[in-house]
Structure 1
Amino acid sequence: MSELLALQNGSDIRGIAIQTDEHDITLTDDAIQKIAQGTTLFLKQKKKLSGRIKVVIGHDSRLSAERIKLALTEVLSSNGIEVLDAHLATTPAMFMATQYEEINADCGIMITASHLPYFYNGIKIFTQSGGAEKEDIRYILEHATEKTENTQAATVKNIDLMSLYADDLVRKIREKVGTSETPLAGSKIVVDAGNGAGGFFAKSVLAPLGADVSASQFLEPDGHFPNHIPNPDNDEAMASLQKAVLESKADLGVIFDTDVDRAAIMDQNGESLNRNALIAVISAILLKEHPETTIVTDSTTSDHLRHFIESLSGKQHRFKRGYRNVIGEAIRLNEVGIPSEIAIEVSGHAALKENYFLDDGAYLVARILMEYAKLKADGEDLMSLIASLKQPAESMEMRLQILDDDFKPYGQKVLSDFEAFVKQMPDFELEPNNYEGIRVQTSGKYGSGWFLLRMSLHEPVMPLNIESDTKGGIDLILTDLRPFFEGYKALKF
């Protein structure tokens, strides 16, 4: 049981799926079959589904996907569950399979490990009410060895989910722009799928809307990820997209992670619209339609982003890292009467209220393209939306490793002591409205800026994010923080 529980990664399941010299397989056939059994119990007992249960299974381009799908299908079908094989798919599409009337699935299972190296894989689970929570994954793993009775015959069918999903995006963009069937005609757009599952966006979404996608790259699925890590938050990946955009003289670049729940955009000058800039762009778009809405972000966003959102009469609510955390917080705010149209992280995870609060990189890009088409018709571009967004002079992230085996209590002790340390330091001021770690505003000799020390969600790491509006400000901050961190022998500074 402990080996199974170790596969839980928040609201996902992840493990080693391919043997390497350094790693043994943890996502074995036996483990996968037990996960399928636990999922059966989850659907029948916790979700209280009866009759013919319908489950869609899809996967990204990972090399181990077929093996995992086969093991899942064998157990689910033996339990009388109708299995629909969506083949190569995206994580958002697996949830939409539970919403589309043409499919009407009770559950969607996505086989993916996002941007992690090729030897990893994992499982994400959706029902008609949304993505599985941490408690649901725990339930599945804890019930993985229980048996169920079955009297129904098994069926397995193939479906073309991605065509349905792509057509849905095309329809929504056309309806929003409202000018023609090809609102992107005259635009050259580079799509970089990183050899993951996002190649469909060029061929089945942008091309039907009139865009020239001839300069797109790495659209073919390849689980070795031979060109770059499929990650919009990766410098090498963004440099590759920049090169393609500039060399082809494209109007825009779009990049996805492996399973297309994250995205970023690049303008014609090779300027990245990711991290704070991406949040600013979608915030500007949504605030036109929903004045004063609250933009829920993770804890690492810039103070300049908050000022930008407030300048547009919006509100920013900085919450904890983790896409399920920010989505849950946006849903909670709406439930207590505080309108929030989006939950978004600097990593590119974004979930819009109008789209089921689904973490969907393709829909985020589609929503931005709706505005892009209107701006282009007026002779403007996306950068005009964020012309007033100030950028820091310097920014950085350090990842301080915790060498103590019991790393969580050790990290919490460091945070507690760090708060006391900051309080007695001149020109450091604790951020009063803070939900994660210790966030500090700087002034005086350090200049205007901020830094945040927090615990990583799952790793023995304490990320330290720093921004300064003054050249050399980060060095000054680090010089005065160094004595504190060097006092902790199990903390690698």
Structure 2
Amino acid sequence: MDFNWKKLQNGSDIRGVALTGIAGQEVNLDAIIVATLGAAFYQWLEKRNSGRIKVAVGMDSRLSGPELKTAFINSLADSGAEVLDCGMASTPAMFMTTITPPYKAHGGVMLTASHLPFNRNGLKFFTPEGGLEKKDITEILAIAETLTEPTQKDGGSVEQIDFISVYSNLLVDKIRKEVNSISNYEQPLSGFKMTVDAGNGAGGFYASKVLEVLGADVSSSQFLEPDGRFPNHVPNPEDAIAMKSICDAVKNNNTDLGIIFDTDVDRAAIVDENGNPINRNELVALSAAIVNEEHPGSTVVTDSITSDGLGWFITDVLKGQHHRFKRGYKNVINEAIRLNETGEESWLAIETSGHAALKENYFLDDGAYLVTKCVIKMAQLKKEGKSLTSLISQLPVPAESKEFRININAEDFKSYGEKVISELGHLAASKTGWELVPNNYEGVRVSINSNGTKGWFLLRLSLHDPVIPLNIESDNQGGVEVIAKELVSFFENFNELDLKSLINR
């Protein structure tokens, strides 16, 4: 097959265009391609396991999901696999199929493209050891490239299972045990009002199969029905419109907690009882505070764009350790695992995007599990007359924070971007009031204290795109503008940079 398989790789995932409808985007992830990927994944698993191979497959609410899931499942069955069709599911649930008795699949697969537009789709893969790494995806794609004829073996089977209910019950049991409502053990959340916003993705189960079962009033929840057109807002906790929608719903309904998921539920954010969003640095801080109570002094691994105030909060207020690492949820997870292997205790790996993985939960980035931890803590604090946000009352909030995405037009964008970053590092080292931040693992991070402006910026390469993201944060109003203006004069020396986003700020 004359096809660019490598183009489907997106780090440790596979992503592509599954439907027409957006100009300039040609379909490269259709049923034929996905069927070939099914056969390739089977062969990849077969090399690592003996006996009959069992694979669990789920999907989010995307319009292309049913057709692609059917093609993938049929290909696995034709290869001889025992397939568990999990229907509508979440990405974390598909990992849990590999370790939960009696299922214990050799592999779990989720058809999703996270928060990307409706016409995109993709695949995330798991084994009992966790999510596949980038090198594993490269290997699966290499196998797919060699396949010419459909595989046909006897012994394949397909069984439909309601695994999202099994997964939900795990969360229900956890809340029942930890909220410790002696008077009402079965429904310890009775009396609480909670608003869930699933963005018409796969997360609606959390309202009906978790919170409502535990007695919570979820009548104010919205966009729970799966709809791959995403007609109400993008299912993405980082999206401003999505966050405003859930914040307004909490305010209008006087609920105790708002919860918003991305499409496949591996990310989340929450909203407090006053309608204030707890996401990005605030969510990292809250998660760190909850985990620190259970594991005092342990290390929190975050991505590179977390604020200086967050670092101070973790180290000085929580008395923990902050290890600021690289962007990419697999990067922070793998770094936390590595630290534990070296003897440095780390129980939380979390990105500002809402990806959060806890050691107690297999270092699985699971939005529903993180929310469950927050629900438990909220219920416990309410008994004491305290709010969930009391845990982060001392977190400094910057006056301004903004991200600019600067496109690179050079063909070899990685080399060009690295050159820009290197030269900016040299400039920062010699500029009065600028100081290179030590222990920085990605790009160049500079602390600024000059002419009344105090803040920082980080310039790094995008993980996959020809883009240099620039994050600027300031402790004083107008500081982002001052820092951006100084950086424009530097960037203008590079002809292959598209500075529209920065100049039109």
Q: TM-score, normalised by structure 2?
A: 0.95
Query: What CA distance in whole angstroms lies between the structure 1 residues aligned with 2:217 and 2:263?
Result: 23
CA contact (8 A) 2:39 2:151 kept: no
1:30-429 correspondence to structure 2 within 5 Å: 30-45=32-47, 47=48, 49-144=49-144, 145-146=146-147, 152-179=154-181, 180-310=185-315, 311-429=317-435
Residue range with higher mean Cα deviation, 101-110 or 180-189: 180-189
% identity of equivalent residues: 53
Kindly state the Cα deviation for residue 483 of structure 1 after the two structures are TM-superposed.
Answer: 1.1
Q: Helix, strand or coil: the match of 2:125?
A: strand
Q: Among residues 483, 486, 493, which one is paired with 1:487 in the alignment?
A: 493
Query: What CA distance in whole angstroms lies between the structure 2 residues aligned with 1:437 and 1:422?
Result: 13
AA in 1 matched with 2:124 = K
AA in 2 matched with 1:9 = N
Q: Helix, strand or coil: the match of 2:438?
A: coil
Residue range with higher mean Cα deviation, 170-179 or 315-324: 170-179
Deviations 1:446-489 (A, max 9, x none): 43211100001111111110111111111221222111101111
Query: What CA distance in whole angstroms lies between the structure 2 residues aligned with 1:21 and 1:197?
Result: 23
CA contact (8 A) 1:41 1:148 kept: no
Kindly state the Cα deviation for residue 72 of structure 1 after the two structures are TM-superposed.
Answer: 0.8
CA contact (8 A) 1:14 1:122 kept: yes
Q: Helix, strand or coil: the match of 1:216?
A: coil
Superposition CA RMSD, Å: 1.3
1:461-480 correspondence to structure 2 within 5 Å: 461-480=467-486
In the alignment, structure 1 residue 440 sits paired with structure 2 residue 446: yes
Deviations 1:91-127 (A, max 9, x none): 0000001111021111111000000000000000101
Kindly state the Cα deviation for residue 150 of structure 1 after the two structures are TM-superposed.
Answer: 6.8
Kindly state the Cα deviation for residue 21 of structure 1 after the two structures are TM-superposed.
Answer: 4.8
Kindly state the Cα deviation for residue 421 of structure 1 after the two structures are TM-superposed.
Answer: 1.3
Kindly state the Cα deviation for residue 365 of structure 1 after the two structures are TM-superposed.
Answer: 0.2
Query: What CA distance in whole angstroms lies between the structure 2 residues aligned with 1:266 and 1:419?
Result: 38
Query: What CA distance in whole angstroms lies between the structure 2 residues aligned with 1:314 and 1:81?
Result: 46
Query: What CA distance in whole angstroms lies between the structure 2 residues aligned with 1:104 and 1:240?
Result: 38
1:16 corresponding residue in structure 2: 17
Query: What CA distance in whole angstroms lies between the structure 2 residues aligned with 1:472 and 1:150?
Result: 65
CA contact (8 A) 1:4 1:31 kept: no
Q: Helix, strand or coil: the match of 2:346?
A: coil
AA in 2 matched with 1:164 = V
Residue range with higher mean Cα deviation, 229-238 or 466-475: 466-475
Q: Helix, strand or coil: the match of 1:208?
A: coil
CA contact (8 A) 2:348 2:356 kept: yes
Deviations 1:6-65 (A, max 9, x none): 1000000000000125121010222212211210111011x2x12111101100000001
Query: What CA distance in whole angstroms lies between the structure 2 residues aligned with 1:51 and 1:354?
Result: 30
Query: What CA distance in whole angstroms lies between the structure 1 residues aligned with 2:451 and 2:188?
Result: 52
Query: What CA distance in whole angstroms lies between the structure 1 residues aligned with 2:483 and 2:307?
Result: 17
Query: What CA distance in whole angstroms lies between the structure 1 residues aligned with 2:498 and 2:427?
Result: 18
Deviations 1:321-374 (A, max 9, x none): 000000000000000000000100000000000000001000000011111110
Query: What CA distance in whole angstroms lies between the structure 1 residues aligned with 2:496 and 2:489?
Result: 14
Q: Helix, strand or coil: the match of 2:462?
A: coil
AA in 1 matched with 2:415 = P
Kindly state the Cα deviation for residue 407 of structure 1 after the two structures are TM-superposed.
Answer: 0.8
Kindly state the Cα deviation for residue 391 of structure 1 after the two structures are TM-superposed.
Answer: 0.4
Query: What CA distance in whole angstroms lies between the structure 2 residues aligned with 1:167 and 1:30?
Result: 36
Q: Helix, strand or coil: the match of 1:333?
A: helix
Q: TM-score, normalised by structure 1?
A: 0.98
CA contact (8 A) 2:78 2:153 kept: no
Deviations 1:414-451 (A, max 9, x none): 11111111112110000011000000001131432111
Query: What CA distance in whole angstroms lies between the structure 2 residues aligned with 1:149 and 1:214?
Result: 48
Kindly state the Cα deviation for residue 289 of structure 1 after the two structures are TM-superposed.
Answer: 1.1
Query: What CA distance in whole angstroms lies between the structure 1 residues aligned with 2:322 and 2:3?
Result: 40
Query: What CA distance in whole angstroms lies between the structure 2 residues aligned with 1:386 and 1:79?
Result: 52
Query: What CA distance in whole angstroms lies between the structure 1 residues aligned with 2:450 and 2:142?
Result: 54
Query: What CA distance in whole angstroms lies between the structure 2 residues aligned with 1:109 and 1:433?
Result: 36
Inter-CA distance 141–302: structure 2 relative to 1 (3 Å threshold): same
Query: What CA distance in whole angstroms lies between the structure 2 residues aligned with 1:446 and 1:2?
Result: 56
CA contact (8 A) 2:58 2:89 kept: yes
Kindly state the Cα deviation for residue 151 of structure 1 after the two structures are TM-superposed.
Answer: 5.2
Q: Among residues 425, 433, 436, which one is paired with 1:430 in the alignment?
A: 436
CA contact (8 A) 1:15 1:25 kept: yes
Query: What CA distance in whole angstroms lies between the structure 2 residues aligned with 1:21 and 1:346?
Result: 29
Kindly state the Cα deviation for residue 74 of structure 1 after the two structures are TM-superposed.
Answer: 1.8
CA contact (8 A) 1:446 1:477 kept: no
CA contact (8 A) 1:95 1:130 kept: yes
Query: What CA distance in whole angstroms lies between the structure 2 residues aligned with 1:40 and 1:117?
Result: 29
Query: What CA distance in whole angstroms lies between the structure 1 residues aligned with 2:373 and 2:394?
Result: 21
Query: What CA distance in whole angstroms lies between the structure 2 residues aligned with 1:108 and 1:115?
Result: 20
Q: Helix, strand or coil: the match of 2:227?
A: coil
Query: What CA distance in whole angstroms lies between the structure 1 residues aligned with 2:214 and 2:31?
Result: 43
Q: Helix, strand or coil: the match of 1:228?
A: coil
CA contact (8 A) 1:454 1:462 kept: yes
2:503 corresponding residue in structure 1: none
AA in 1 matched with 2:170 = D
